[in-house]
Amino acid sequence: MQLTRVDQQKQEAETEILRKIAYQVGVDAETVTAQQAYQGVAWTVRERLIDAFNKTQAYWREKDPKFIYYLSAEFLMGRTLTNAVNNLGLEGEFGEAIRKLGYSLEELQSQEQNASLGNGGLGRLAACFLDSIATLSLPGWGYGIRYRYGMFRQGLENGFQSESPDTWLTNGNPWEIPRRDLAYKIGFYGSVQDGKWQPAEQVYAVAYDNPIPGYGTKTVGNLRLFDCQPMSEFKLASFNEGKYSEATEDKRKAEDISAVLYPNDATEYGRELRLKQQIFFVSAAMQDTLARFKKTHKDMKELPSKACFQMNDTHPTIGVAELMRLLIDQEGLQWEAAWDITTKTLAFTNHTVMPEALEKWPVAVIGKLLPRHMEIIEKIDSIWIESLRKKVTAQVGSQSPKNALEKVAGAVKGALEEKTADPVEAALAKYSIITENPWEKGVKLVNMAFMATIGSKSTNGVAAIHSEIIKETIFKDFYELSPEKFQNKTNGVTPRRWLAYCNPGLSKLITETLGSNEWIAKTDQLAGLRKFSDDKAFQKKWRSIKLENKQRLADLIKSRVGISVPTNALYDVQIKRIHEYKRQHLNMFSVVNRYLNIKAASPEERKKMVPRVVVIGGKAASAYVMAKKMIKLVTAVGEVVNKDPDVGDLLKVVFLPDYNVSLAEVIVPGAEVSQHISTAGTEASGTSNMKFQMNGCLIIGTMDGANIEIAQESGKENMFVFGVDAKDIGRLREERKNFKVEDPRWNKIMQFLTSSTFEAGLFQDLVDNVNDMSKANDWFLLGNDFSDYLRAQDEIDALYKDQDAWTKRSILYTAGSGFFSSDRCIDQYAKEIWDVKPCEVPSS
């Protein structure tokens, strides 16, 4: 019998997988475990990936297009199997073979370790960006660190967070290609003589390529991660002398560099290690890029037409000095030429206005670890300040100095008003990269964000409001000088992972309804769902898919924390890093309020209440005491509520430990309302809000970050908006000292949290922080937003009683989410910052 082409492909896939199971995994197909089957399938998919990867890279070498290099300390990739199978269009071929082994793709995928090489939003954004860069066939690579241990694993001990190492590489990693022959030298310490740096220590950065398949294209991009290795593995002489630890000391020290993400910076060694990591991957990335560039180009001046480095927050910004060093010291360029190239090749994204996250390295630390870079930074700073001084002087001329100075920058005006003795110098100091530490006299710091802005062609924020805020605050003076450099690029998320693959039920319904699956690459088409939002039959289908997803989430909760949650309750979710500005404690105050209401209600009244399951997930930074206390708040309140027979199924409070990408892929589709309740002006953008929106989950939120644009796209009237306005925050913070929350419910909650229900004093500090203005100032304004938040919560309950009205809104959320595809975002970066154009391998 003649086999059809499809059958033939299926058979080939099966044969390949069985070979892998036999010879790579080394087991019998009859007795294969889920992990072994996963390995067999993954190593097979890897080959398909590499075929397409090699073709793409060869094509790009031939065409020599301009590349974008995305420099990021974080890449929160999650799992690869499903994404690779689907993006490569292999589900048909592989599905049957997997079933024959006795498994489903989902079961095999659950065997894969998450690649958690990131903390949160910024790292996941980088991962979504790689997906879109490949999908749009843009020549581009990501560059980062191959951390041996990713984001710590979170457990619970007595309701408190516990941390253990993330040993994600223990089963091997089928998704990477080690390039042991591709290693770059990275130097540290030493001295500079005659402008030449002699490092006292050197390590190797060894490349590992991680192919990134685009969707609906043959393009497979690359994430190149570097592993740190010593120059010499082993000192045999030391070993023979019986100095065993000395024999391997270099290896251990080198391996520290790529060991963990953000080593604790409480010690000097830790701080140095962080800076070592930064120069490590940035230098390797730049050396790698220049080496490729030089194969086909002689003149370094062409670099800006062939490469753009996007620096993801301040972590890679030592790159400004590194590119200058490479161009001057290695390539022999003059300062001016090198500066011209650098400022045309680099671009910078800011992701936060939180002062503690804006890196400032002590001059002493950089000077010791990277003496040549420090020299370069000092020169950049002095030339920069000199150029400003010239502008000021030129403008002073015959005019009154005050007016002339005002033209140069608002900062001068401030200095004049403050009646500073020398307003020009005072104003110029505000622009300086090197500043004195306000908390430690005599200690000088390098402001990395300032250096990045000065050394880049563009600086962008990540949501409309955030991009405005940075122009008015941290970069105010720079914005006034060069407004044309400042841009907004509202974040986006990949609709493949965050809708098509994580929510197959909804995805199928959308495809059927719109008549094709084109929406997966053209999310604008989701707007076509609007006209079905009132259609009762469609609403019913929409709801039944939500119910299935809620069941999946309920099963997950049961298996992870042993709590049974009813599926007829409203699923209310807040998942993100735990932080005071994100206000998980405000959420818990409302939970306590709900609990007290249930307790006080009659049986009749209870019947009218809408049952709620509140799910909170997220990790607290290991040194962040208050965030850890907030986790305890969730678990402790949960314990009281969940076992109270008066409450029954009316309220369940769940803390899901070890929140990560693959957990989010189950939580997001199952959520009905999600919370994005940061103090206005503090959350740069948020990206989980977009994922929830895509999956038709309603949002309760403040007018902060991308919530504002989500409200524009899906209708503000459809969002549960509350809270004070970002523009009032400054004033309200000043008025806090005399502020008192008048709402009686607030006091009841504060009393409850400090009552004997909990261990004596357990939440006193948390309560004092927001409630005792003699001790603290409620910096994140929970008191100001409290009553309005509860009002919005009541609106949620009321609407849920009308399931048709609720479902209509849910549909309108998905219909309005098209703008938040990372494809749209990356298209804007490519056109408005990078000047990089698609270059797709032609179909052969």
Residue 463 — φ and ψ, nearest 5°? -160, 160
**Residue selected from 176, 477, 658, 683 as contacting ligand 26Y according to rule CB under 6 A:** 683
364: β partners: none
State yes or no: is 351 an active-site residue: yes
Q: Is 491 in the site for ligand 26Y (CB under 6 A)?
A: yes
Among the listed residues 122, 254, 411, 654, the single contact to ligand 26Y using CB under 6 A? 122
Nearer Cβ to ligand 26Y (176/359): 359
Interaction of residue 121 with ligand 26Y, rule CB under 6 A: yes
Q: How many residues belong to the chain?
A: 844
Nearer to ligand 26Y, 491 or 549 (CB): 491
Q: Under the criterion CB under 6 A, does residue 704 sit at the interface with ligand 26Y?
A: no
Q: For residue 652, indicate whether it is catalytic.
A: no
Specify the residue, 81 or 474, whose C-beta has the smaller distance to ligand 26Y.
474
Work out how close the CB of 618 gets to ligand 26Y at its nearest, in angstroms, rounded to a whole number. 12
CA distance 839 to 844: 15
- Residue owning tokens 């090198």: 338
Q: Does the annotation mark 235 as catalytic? A: no
- Name the segment binding ligand 26Y (CB under 6 A); options: 193-201, 339-347, 406-414, 683-691: 683-691
Binding status of residue 681 toward ligand 26Y by CB under 6 A: no
CB of 351 to ligand 26Y, least distance (A): 4
Pick the catalytic residue: 344, 413, 577, 606? 577
Residue from 445, 684, 708, 799 touching ligand 26Y (CB under 6 A): that is 684
**Burial of 789 by CB count in 10 Å (0-12 exposed, 13-18 middle, 19+ buried)?**
buried
b (16+ CB within 10 A) / e for 470-505: bbeebbbbbbbbeeebbbbbbbbbbbbbbbbbbbbb
Q: Which residue has the tokens 């809708």?
A: 499
Q: Which of 82, 459, 687, 769 binds ligand 26Y (CB under 6 A)?
A: 687
Q: How would you list the strands of the sheet with 140-145, edge to edge? A: 177-188, 201-213, 220-230, 140-145, 67-71, 307-312, 346-349, 459-461, 486-488
* Sign of the alpha-carbon torsion through 585, 589, 595, 596: positive
What is the contact mask toward ligand 26Y in residues 441 to 480, using x (rule: CB under 6 A)? ---------------------x------------------
Member of 40, 78, 120, 783 binding ligand 26Y (CB under 6 A): 120
Nearest to 281 by CA among 222, 174, 208: 208
Interface residue with ligand 26Y, options 44, 119, 503, 523 (CB under 6 A): 119
Residue 300 CA to residue 279 CA, distance in Å, equals: 22
Q: How far apart are CA 49 and CA 51, in angstroms?
A: 5
Closest by Cα among 660, 588, 666 to 627: 588
Which of these ranges, 152-160, 493-501, 564-572, 678-686, lies near ligand 26Y under the rule CB under 6 A?
678-686
In the complex, minimum distance from the CB of residue 270 to ligand 26Y, in angstroms, rounded to a whole number: 12
Q: What is d(CA 164, CA 170) in angstroms, rounded to the nearest whole number?
A: 15
- The answer to whether 689 contacts ligand 26Y (rule: CB under 6 A) is no
Helix (H, G, I), strand (E, B) or coil at 280: helix
Residue 451 CB, shortest distance to ligand 26Y, in Å, is: 15
Rounded to 10 degrees, the C-alpha dihedral 75/79/85/89 comes to -50
* b/e code 318-350 from CB counts within 10 Å (16+ = b): bbbbbbbbbbbbeeebeeeebbebbbbbbbbbb
Binding residues for ligand 26Y restricted to 275-314, rule: CB under 6 A: 313
Reading phi first (left if > 0) and then psi (alpha if -120 to 50, else beta), residue 781 is in left
Q: Binding string, 713-742, against ligand 26Y, x = CB under 6 A?
A: ------------------------------
Catalytic residue, candidates 79, 360, 576, 808: 576
Query: Cβ-closest residue to ligand 26Y?
Result: 121
Question: Catalytic: which of 276, 351, 372, 808?
Answer: 351
Q: Is 131 in the site for ligand 26Y (CB under 6 A)?
A: no
> Taking CB under 6 A as the rule, does residue 359 contact ligand 26Y?
yes
Closest approach, Cβ 70 to ligand 26Y, in A, equals 13
685 near ligand 26Y, rule: CB under 6 A: yes
DSSP per position, 771-816:
H-TTT---TT-HHHHHHHHHHHHHHHHHHHTSHHHHHHHHHHHHHT
* 596/511 Cα distance (integer angstroms): 45
CB closer to ligand 26Y out of 16 and 683:
683
> What's the CA gap between 449 and 31, in Å, rounded?
56
Choice among 485, 582, 619, 629 that is catalytic: 582
Min CB(462)–ligand 26Y separation in Å = 4
The interface with ligand 26Y within residues 149-188 (CB under 6 A) comprises none
Does residue number 347 form part of the binding site for ligand 26Y (CB under 6 A)? Answer: no
Active site residue 372: no
Tokens 């390797």 correspond to what residue?
A: 284
117 lies in the binding site for ligand 26Y (CB under 6 A): no
Quick check: 686 binds ligand 26Y (CB under 6 A)? yes
Alpha-carbon distances of 186 from 283, 783, 793, rounded to whole Å: 7, 51, 54
Number of residues counted as binding ligand 26Y (CB under 6 A): 20
Rg of the Cα atoms in the chain: 28
Where in 224-263 is the site for ligand 26Y (CB under 6 A)?
A: 262
Pairing outcome for strands 140-145 and 67-71? parallel
* Segment 597 to 616, residues that bind ligand 26Y, using CB under 6 A: none
For the annotated catalytic residues, the residue numbers are 351, 576-577, 582, 687, 691
Binding footprint of ligand 26Y on the chain (CB under 6 A): 119-122, 125, 262, 313, 315, 351-352, 357, 359, 462, 491, 683-687, 705
